Amino acid sequence: MSKLYINGRWSASETGREFNSYNPANGSLLDSVADGNREDTANAIHAAEEAFKKWSVVPAIQRSDYLMACYDSMIKNQDLLAEMITREQGKPLKEAINEVGYAASFFRWYAEEARRIYGETLPSNAADKRIVISRQPVGVVAAITPWNFPLAMITRKIAPALAAGCTVVVKPAEQTPLNAVTLFKVLEECNLPPGVINLITTSQPRDVGEELLHNPAVKKITFTGSTDVGKYLTKEASNQMKRVSMELGGHAPFIVFDDADIEDAVNGVIASKFRNAGQTCVCANRIYVQESIMDEFISLFAEKVNAFSVGEGFKSEVDIGPLIDKDAIQKSKNHIEDALNKGAKLITGGKQINGEGNFFEPTILLDVAEDMYICQEETFGPVAPILTFKTENEVIERANNVPYGLAAYFYTNDYSRSIRVSEKLEYGIIGLNDAIPAVAQAPFGGMKESGVGREGGKEGLLDFLETKYISMKFKNECEQ
Ligand code: SIN
């Protein structure tokens, strides 16, 4: 059985309860995991609160060394980590290896940034005053993370938190607890002081969440997940004015203009839509193709999608792994059924693949319209809905006409259009001829109902820091 990690020790839950983790490719049992509850969470918060007293005053250069050690340890254990991603989350091993590199890169970037938490001095209004602005860590952070990137979404939160001088309690998704446990085992090699990072695996996210929300020692909640849960957490966190960073749902438009390189655009749509079997918040959810290039686009797109191999992620030829669970399968089915009932055409795919595991055929839908569910909520599955448009102004208006604002993509070779469209799209992340924009040094996050705050980049560090203004009055004349 895998255990909780509290105050530098592995322990069972106070209740002794466990829950199981399964492989989505075949339903087999992977292991049992300690089922943390509210009391365990309070213990972890207490450990983090005690550790904060010392960690927050560790010199930046030493915190930086710890973070570099975390990076090195992840890279050294790349195969172990990647294999666990494929086993428990399902994505193909080559994608899992990429995720380990991506996840580790947050430690390297924030190891460097830990040494650059600068303050400021400002001109004062009086000769006997000085104004100093300094940055201090917010305190204990609760990190609630999803299953779709079971390592990267943890490191994207804990690396900047530790760089800032915060301590952390992580609650990973109940679908991928073993990934979090494996990551913590790898990080244990870096000898972080006890209590600096803590892990509560649980099948009772509400119970654990209530403690994270209501315990006054927690000063910040950082969450990646659905907009509904993000709104709930934000509302509850406001009772104690806890800081929040919310990386929530998206509904990315992917626009292909008639001046684009079509093959490049098709490859881009594939990379965005079918990465992790469509289970990303930033994947293409509405693919707008300009009318005059539709035939050429769709025939190349269908040819490439029909060549995909779907299956268990350890097989080297596999491009698309299983969906996470039966609910995910059902959501893809519902979106396809609704779209077909409302007039969409099925170009390829459309069904669950029979047999063990949560496999779904990569699917293309044509003649999709905005009144279909697939254009209003995230599918989180390998379903590509294609819409057509005539003009630039029309497509910008349609692309922006959703409550979300996380990521948007467009392909064009027209220089002026590149500037116009990137400025008009109401999204936090824009991929211009680029389908995979996320990197550790860039701010990742959304506008509108896609969230608040940014992860990655210098913005991601500022979100874990308080700004303090010190007004210093002094005797500016020497007495002798
Ligand atoms: C996500 O979809 O949740 C994260 C994707 C990324 O970091 O690229």
Residue written as token pair 């989180």: 380
* Residues in Cβ contact with 228 at an 8 Å cutoff, skipping those fewer than 6 apart: none
For 287, phi then psi, to 5°, come to -100, 105
Nearest to 245 by CA among 213, 271, 278, 223: 223
Nearest to 105 by CA among 416, 463, 455: 455
Ligand 1 atom at shortest distance from the alpha carbon of 280:
2
Angle made by CA atoms 222, 226, 232, in degrees to the nearest 5: 65
Coil, strand or helix at 1: coil
The rounded distance, in Å, linking the Cα atoms of 221 and 243 is 6
Any catalytic annotation for residue 377?
no
The Å distance, Cα 94 to ligand 1 centre, comes to: 17
| Domains, the chain | 4-248+450-469 (3.40.605.10), 252-432 (3.40.309.10)
pLDDT digits (tens), the chain, 480 positions: 999 999 999 999 999 999 999 999 999 999 999 999 999 999 999 999 999 999 999 999 999 999 999 999 999 999 999 999 999 999 999 999 999 999 999 999 999 999 999 999 999 999 999 999 999 999 999 999 999 999 999 999 999 999 999 999 999 999 999 999 999 999 999 999 999 999 999 999 999 999 999 999 999 999 999 999 999 999 999 999 999 999 999 999 999 999 999 999 999 999 999 999 999 999 999 999 999 999 999 999 999 999 999 999 999 999 999 999 999 999 999 999 999 999 999 999 999 998 889 999 999 999 999 999 999 999 999 999 999 999 999 999 999 999 999 999 999 999 999 999 999 999 999 999 999 999 999 999 999 999 999 999 999 999 999 999 999 999 999 887
The Å distance, Cα 280 to ligand 1 centre, comes to: 5
Long-range contacts of 364-372 (CB under 8 A, 24+ apart): 364/298, 364/301, 364/302, 364/305, 365/336, 365/339, 365/340, 366/298, 367/343, 368/286, 368/339, 368/344, 369/342, 369/343, 369/344, 370/286, 370/398, 370/401, 371/342, 372/335, 372/338, 372/339, 372/342, 372/344
Give the residues surrounding ligand 1 with Cβ less than 6 Å away: 148-149, 224, 280-282, 438
Long-range contacts of 125-129 (CB under 8 A, 24+ apart): 126/473, 127/476, 128/473, 128/474, 128/475, 128/476, 129/471, 129/472, 129/473, 129/474
Nearest to 194 by CA among 157, 171, 167, 220: 167
> Where are the alpha helices (H) located in 307-343, listed in sequence order?
326-341
Pocket test for ligand 1, best of 99, 145, 148, 246 (most atoms within 8 A of CB): 148
The Å distance, Cα 390 to ligand 1 centre, comes to: 30
Long-range contacts of 311-314 (CB under 8 A, 24+ apart): 311/25, 311/359, 312/25, 312/26, 312/357, 313/25, 313/86, 313/90, 313/91, 313/92, 313/93, 313/95, 313/96, 314/83, 314/86, 314/93
Is the Cβ–Cβ distance between 163 and 465 less than 8 Å?
Answer: no
Burial class (CB in 10 A: 0-12, 13-18, 19+), 446: buried
The rounded distance, in Å, linking the Cα atoms of 77 and 79 is 6
Q: Which two tokens stand for residue 54?
A: 């010392």
**330-350: buried (b, 16+ CB within 10 Å) or exposed (e) per residue?**
ebbbebbeebeeeebeebbbb
Pocket test for ligand 1, best of 145, 147, 153 (most atoms within 8 A of CB): 153
Per-residue confidence (pLDDT) for residue 49, from 0 to 100: 99
Residue written as token pair 């790349």: 78
Ligand 1 atom at shortest distance from the alpha carbon of 146:
3
Nearest to 444 by CA among 171, 95, 153, 221: 153
The rounded distance, in Å, linking the Cα atoms of 108 and 71 is 6
Nearest to 153 by CA among 173, 139, 174: 173
Q: Which two tokens stand for residue 119?
A: 């303050």
Which residue has its alpha carbon closest to ligand 1 atom 7? 438
Q: Which of 70, 166, 190, 281 is catalytic?
A: 281
Ligand 1 atom at shortest distance from the alpha carbon of 276:
2
The Å distance, Cα 59 to ligand 1 centre, comes to: 32
Q: Which two tokens stand for residue 360?
A: 């779904």
Ligand 1 atom at shortest distance from the alpha carbon of 247:
3
Q: What is the pTM of this model?
A: 0.97
Residue 89 is inside which H or E element, if any? none
Any catalytic annotation for residue 281?
yes
Per-residue confidence (pLDDT) for residue 480, from 0 to 100: 74
Nearest to 350 by CA among 372, 327, 366, 370: 366
Orientation of helix 93-113 relative to helix 60-76, angle to 10°? 170
SS3 content of the chain, % helix, strand, coil (to 5): 40, 25, 35
Per-residue confidence (pLDDT) for residue 218, from 0 to 100: 99
Per-residue confidence (pLDDT) for residue 323, from 0 to 100: 98
Which residue has its alpha carbon closest to ligand 1 atom 6? 438
The Å distance, Cα 224 to ligand 1 centre, comes to: 9
Angle made by CA atoms 467, 217, 107, in degrees to the nearest 5: 60
Q: Which of 49, 113, 247, 449 is catalytic?
A: 247
The rounded distance, in Å, linking the Cα atoms of 202 and 3 is 10
The Å distance, Cα 162 to ligand 1 centre, comes to: 21
Is the Cβ–Cβ distance between 250 and 446 less than 8 Å?
Answer: yes
Amino acid at 139: G
Per-residue confidence (pLDDT) for residue 243, from 0 to 100: 98
Pocket test for ligand 1, best of 251, 404, 409, 444 (most atoms within 8 A of CB): 444
Q: Which two tokens stand for residue 440?
A: 């550790």
